């Protein structure tokens, strides 16, 4: 079984996924093909992979074949699974996504999902996704593309709408970790919790949260009542007003609605860390450099299992072991009060037959209303690229809840012009006009 990693130079993420894969004792004969366009990062990823795999030898005499490729197609040839973890433009592009909007007074926290940062991250990722989709169709057409690259929903939508990829699912850990952390908050072992979440990526909703038939939401209400500090979290504030707990962190959730980031008092009340992802990105660079230096010096690596979905999917499809994950897939009647063709996050059954999404039906009306605002931004961004219409880039930002609440229309137009000039050749050629 061959698994290709695209963007393998994201060394920390690659390490965690490999640790998960190699932890399954019944996954035999794995072939790991690593691809990155940065030679140094690719060398570091290969060295780390060999350490994690025990230089190819695994318990019980099983082996893992590891190869590294600067050429993407070589990595993809014959792949059964493709794990996409690329970041186009890296930290320099991220700084642009924060620094230019900040000059206009637009506050962002993570800026990789919707919002101005998410829109422009999508636009510089789409051309690479087009090439990936074309290569997969030609050299491994039956492979499953497991996408981790953000903006998740826009990227999966573009892959489905503009490339010949047949099998794609977007993977994000936010639903799992929300359920895990809520279990701790209400004092129930996670293993005894049952939950159902659905919506859109980074703005799904915990529709059911139970244990042994007991609704755990009243316990959550009691925990909030006992600890007033919980009221200073964005998603607790959203839960109290909307009735369903959102599945993304508070700093991230603040970006998808018009209520919080525009107001300095709300930023203070809810302790929203404006610009947080810049610090996270800089720390990621430091951790990469520490890993590189440790490998060069022959020091050991400490790698923890991640419990990510991609290794679970590989194992379930290889062994027939059934699992339920939450995946991002094209909406084909899965959530009936969100538009068909958009990308939604729903429970999916995974087994030897592949990844099969579950129809959820209607979301609560207030949750669907917020999701539709999110979907509108995704729709206009994907249309901008597919149709080659630069005005749709501006329309997407005009439709974005945080930008629309914070800026005038003229400021939005000028901001988009500045970002187009700054990102330049990373954007699709038809969208480079100002």
Catalytic machinery residues: 173
Packed helices 11-22 and 39-52: angle between N→C axes, nearest 10 degrees: 20
Region at 48 (left for phi over 0; alpha for psi -120 to 50; beta for the rest): alpha
CA dist 306 and 314 (Å) reads 15
CA angle, residues 423, 425, 426, in degrees to nearest 5: 60
Task: Write phi, then psi, for 89 (nearest 5 degrees).
Answer: 95, -15
Facing residues of 349 across strands?
Answer: 324, 356
Facing residues of 326 across strands?
Answer: 347
Facing residues of 198 across strands?
Answer: 205
* DSSP assignment letter at 338: S
Say if strands 203-211 and 214-215 run parallel, antiparallel, or are unpaired: antiparallel
Packed helices 90-103 and 276-296: angle between N→C axes, nearest 10 degrees: 160
Q: What sign does the CA torsion over 184, 374, 350, 211 have?
A: positive
Q: What sign does the CA torsion over 265, 268, 271, 272 have?
A: positive
Helix (H, G, I), strand (E, B) or coil at 332: coil
């Amino acid at each position: 079984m061959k698994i290709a990693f695209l963007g393998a130079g994201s060394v920390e993420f690659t390490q965690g996924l490999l640790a998960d894969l190699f932890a399954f004792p019944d996954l035999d004969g794995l072939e790991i093909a690593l691809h990155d366009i940065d030679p140094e990062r690719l060398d570091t990823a290969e060295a780390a992979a060999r350490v994690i795999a025990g230089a190819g030898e695994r318990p019980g005499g099983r082996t893992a074949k590891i190869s590294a490729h600067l050429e993407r197609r070589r990595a993809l040839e014959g792949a059964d699974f493709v794990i996409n973890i690329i970041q186009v433009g890296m930290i320099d592009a991220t700084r642009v996504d924060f620094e230019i909007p900040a000059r206009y007074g637009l506050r962002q926290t993570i800026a990789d999902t919707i919002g101005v940062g998410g829109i422009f991250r999508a636009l510089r990722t789409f051309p690479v996704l087009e090439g990936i989709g074309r290569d997969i169709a030609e050299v491994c057409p039956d492979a499953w593309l497991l996408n981790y690259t953000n903006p998740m929903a826009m990227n999966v939508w573009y892959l489905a709408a503009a490339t010949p990829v047949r099998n794609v699912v977007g993977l994000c850990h936010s639903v799992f970790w929300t359920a895990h952390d809520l279990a701790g908050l209400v004092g129930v072992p996670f293993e005894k919790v049952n939950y159902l979440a659905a919506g859109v990526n980074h703005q799904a909703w915990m529709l059911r949260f139970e244990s042994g038939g007991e609704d755990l939401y009243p316990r959550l209400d009691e925990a909030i009542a006992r600890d007033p500090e919980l009221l200073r979290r964005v998603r607790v504030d959203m839960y109290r007003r909307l009735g369903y707990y959102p599945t993304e962190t508070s700093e991230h959730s603040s970006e998808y609605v018009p209520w919080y980031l525009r107001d300095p008092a709300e930023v203070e009340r809810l302790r929203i860390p404006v610009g947080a992802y810049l610090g996270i990105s800089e720390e990621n660079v430091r951790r990469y450099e520490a890993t590189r230096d440790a490998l060069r010096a022959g020091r050991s690596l400490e790698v923890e299992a991640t419990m990510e979905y991609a290794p679970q999917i590989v194992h379930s499809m290889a062994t027939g072991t059934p699992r339920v994950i939450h995946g991002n897939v094209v909406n084909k009647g899965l959530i009936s009060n969100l538009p068909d063709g958009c990308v939604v996050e729903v429970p999916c059954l995974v087994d030897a037959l592949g990844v099969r999404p579950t129809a959820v039906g209607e979301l609560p009306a207030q949750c669907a209303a917020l999701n539709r605002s999110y979907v509108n931004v995704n729709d206009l961004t994907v249309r901008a690229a597919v149709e080659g219409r630069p005005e749709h880039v501006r329309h997407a930002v005009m439709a974005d809840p945080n930008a629309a609440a914070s800026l005038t229309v003229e400021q939005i137009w000028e901001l988009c012009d500045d970002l187009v000039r700054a990102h330049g050749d990373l954007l699709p050629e038809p969208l480079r006009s100002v």
